[in-house]
Amino acid sequence: MTELLTAAQMRAIEQAAIDSGDVTGLELMERAGRGVVEAIFEEWPELAKPNRGASPSGSPGYLGPRETRAARRRAVVLCGPGNNGGDGFVVARRLLDKGWDVEVFLFGDPDKLPPDARTNYDVWCSMGAVKKLEVDAVTSGPRPTLLIDAMFGTGLTRAIPLDCALAFHAIEKRDVGDRHPWLVPYHRVAIDTPSGLDTDSGKFLLPEFSGDADDEEDWESYWEWWQNDASMRLLLPDLTISFHRRRLGHVLSDVSRKVVVCDIGLGKEDRHPAHLLWPHSNDVVRLLDFDVPKGRSKRAWPGNDLDKRRGAQSHKYTHGHALILSGQSGKGGAARLAARGALRIGAGLVTVAPTPGALQENAARLDAIMLSPVGDAPTLETVLADERFNALCLGPGLGQERARELVPVALAAERATVLDADALTAFADNPAGLFDMLHENCVLTPHAGEFARLFPDIAEKLNAPATQGPAYSKVDATREAAARAGCVVLFKGPDTVIAAPDGRCSINSAAYERSAPWLASAGTGDVLAGFVTGLLARGFKPIQAAETAAWMHVECALEFGPGLIAEDLSEMLPNVFRKLGV
């Protein structure tokens, strides 16, 4: 797992390195600029070839008779008023050294640049011009091969100024429909982060309303203008190149097609340990980005935990018995999906508990999964007298009325318990009543709608337009929810955030290289609830079960690929296990 950093944490790491005397800020900026150029050439190797000029001789290294001057590689670098802009000047210099045509624009006053950025500005000025960032200037001239966004990085604390927004807008307008394959390749690169994005929350920072505060209509139209015209907010990059570690905002948004991280020599955690820089290591958010090992020899997680093989002494009961509560006749599909997920991920036994009326339907659909009818709360109490049921799942297809009746009994039994779907929505009128019953062995698995029903005030903060950074993020929201509920909360989405009441937090990303949009399909959430339940039955701690299940869920989706339906997910588990060497 790698650590995801906030802007403050990144600054602390940089400052610690500078204070230690190992490196200067200027050296770090040089490494950053060099890293950006290397990453660009790694991403688009054709750009690393020497630039070609026109030659009447027609020699191979020169432009041919049918090629135009537009075939020359040209970069436009947009520099901002801070050190992000400083990185931009380094990149401009290094591209010029490689024979590129480079045009540099600056937003802001050169005299106000911070010292390292100013030094690189001065160096650049001895090599080329710096133009003022203006709409007409920035869109004049041939379209570049590379557009470098070095406007704002981790220092952005409020919305980009209107002049920048208008420049972005003009560039976007010029480029609409212009990204045609037969045209000169055109790539957009953001240094550190797409300018306009808050690096802690992944949200766009929107301008504060400067019109008449009493005029609601005025505010609405202003807000809509920013909301609906993304080109006013940022330049959507093909590649974002960040330094040392990914930022939270990179994972909590997916505005960039790709994010890469380049090493600027700040050392590994053992040299600048996160827990020394900020005392509560629970502050650090981890990205679930485990490599699936190629060979068994490589130490890997979660393979290690999943690899508790069934020895000669083990039998099905040593791997737990999961009980999945189900609903009425005709509503059993969701619970069956969860049950199959629990069984495939390794629970020793799984029992589905539908209403007596739905017994026939389930009997016709289940083989390895057992059945035990539960008509009402007293019956559930009797069933749970069997201590071997060590993990419960309530929610998928349960029905809200039945959830209100059964959830209190299930929670009173103090087994590891997953609450999903109807078991969450059923308490929308009285979330506090639910929180009073929850215990530390519970996992709540809400999607955004369910989250808002249980934690309306938190959801409101999360969904409010962000005008200042660091903005309230999905990480903040999930942590606050977990603390309030007193148990692990797994807040689903392409960026699934998992938090425990003590602040431990991780993100399972289904974006970028793990993008699996086909996962947004009916029933996949039920399977996830089943995965968590199965792992709880196997004895995983709640946070570990939630993290492992979320990660495996995406791995299964990637393993299957497009066309996936919920039923396919669990069937991919054997392949994923094999890849893990389990």
Binding site for ligand NAX (CB under 6 A): 14, 25, 28-29, 32, 80-87, 114, 152-161, 191-192, 243, 264
Give the shortest CB-97-to-ligand NAX separation in angstroms. Answer: 18
Contact call for residues 75 and 148 (beta carbons, < 8 A): yes
Give the shortest CB-14-to-ligand NAX separation in angstroms. Answer: 4
Measured distance CA(398)–CA(352) in Å, rounded: 11
Q: Of 33 and 525, which has the nearer Cβ to K ion?
A: 33
Measured distance CA(405)–CA(323) in Å, rounded: 16
Q: Could you count the other beta carbons within 10 Å of the beta carbon of residue 156? A: 22
Partner in contact with 14, chosen from ligand NAX, K ion, none, beta carbon below 5 to 8 Å by kind:
ligand NAX
Give the shortest CB-249-to-ligand NAX separation in angstroms. Answer: 11
Q: Of 82 and 333, which has the nearer Cβ to ligand NAX?
A: 82
Give the shortest CB-325-to-ligand NAX separation in angstroms. Answer: 49
Q: Of 265 and 493, which has the nearer Cβ to ligand NAX?
A: 265
Partner in contact with 243, chosen from ligand NAX, K ion, none, beta carbon below 5 to 8 Å by kind:
ligand NAX
> Is there a binding annotation on residue 334?
yes
> Is there a binding annotation on residue 153?
yes
Q: Of 154 and 508, which has the nearer Cβ to K ion?
A: 154
Partner in contact with 149, chosen from ligand NAX, K ion, none, beta carbon below 5 to 8 Å by kind:
K ion
> Is there a binding annotation on residue 396?
no
> Is there a binding annotation on residue 156?
yes
Measured distance CA(226)–CA(252) in Å, rounded: 20
> Is there a binding annotation on residue 447?
yes
Strand order in the sheet with 495-499: 2-4, 285-287, 505-509, 495-499, 488-491, 442-444, 416-419, 389-394, 321-325, 349-353, 370-371
Query: In the numeric block, which tokens belong to residue 174?
Result: 């010029």
Build a one-symbol-per-residue string for 141-170: x at contacts with K ion by CB under 5 A, - elsewhere.
--------x---------------------
Stretch that binds K ion, among 183-191, 382-390, 512-520, 562-570 (CB under 5 A): 183-191
Q: Which residues of 98-108 are buried (b: 16+ CB within 10 A; e: fewer)?
A: bebbbbbbbbb
> Is there a binding annotation on residue 493?
yes
Partner in contact with 157, chosen from ligand NAX, K ion, none, beta carbon below 5 to 8 Å by kind:
ligand NAX
DSSP β-ladder status, 321-325 and 389-394: parallel
> Is there a binding annotation on residue 492?
yes
> Is there a binding annotation on residue 157?
yes
Stretch that binds K ion, among 195-203, 309-317, 452-460, 561-569 (CB under 5 A): 195-203
Q: Of the candidates 195, 201, 524, 533, which one interacts with K ion according to CB under 5 A?
A: 195
Partner in contact with 25, chosen from K ion, ligand NAX, none, beta carbon below 5 to 8 Å by kind:
ligand NAX
Query: In the numeric block, which tokens belong to residue 158?
Result: 């409020």
Per-residue H/E/C for 109-168: CHHHCCHHHHHHHHHHHCCCCEEECCHHHHHCCCCCCEEEEECCCCCCCECCCHHHHHHH
Give the shortest CB-198-to-K ion separation in angstroms. Answer: 12
Query: In the numeric block, which tokens belong to residue 569?
Result: 């997910």
Quote the Cα angle for 22-20-29, to 5°: 50
Beta strands in 326-451 (DSSP E): 349-353, 370-371, 389-394, 416-419, 442-444
Give the shortest CB-565-to-ligand NAX separation in angstroms. Answer: 42
> Is there a binding annotation on residue 85?
yes
Query: In the numeric block, which tokens belong to residue 199?
Result: 């690096």
Partner in contact with 87, chosen from K ion, ligand NAX, none, beta carbon below 5 to 8 Å by kind:
ligand NAX
Angle between helices 542-560 and 573-580 in degrees, nearest 10: 110
> Is there a binding annotation on residue 87?
yes
Q: For 357, which DSSP code?
A: G
Contact call for residues 321 and 342 (beta carbons, < 8 A): no
Q: Which residue's Cβ lies closest to K ion?
A: 195
Measured distance CA(171)–CA(100) in Å, rounded: 21
Q: Of the candidates 191, 325, 471, 573, which one interacts with K ion according to CB under 5 A?
A: 191
Counting contacts by CB under 5 A, is residue 205 touching K ion? no
Binding site, annotated residues for K(+): 84, 149, 195
- The annotation places the binding site for AMP at 492-496, 525
Binding site for (6S)-NADPHX, by residue number, is: 83-87, 153-159, 192, 334, 397, 447, 526
Q: Which residues sit at the interface with K ion, rule CB under 5 A?
A: 149, 190-191, 195
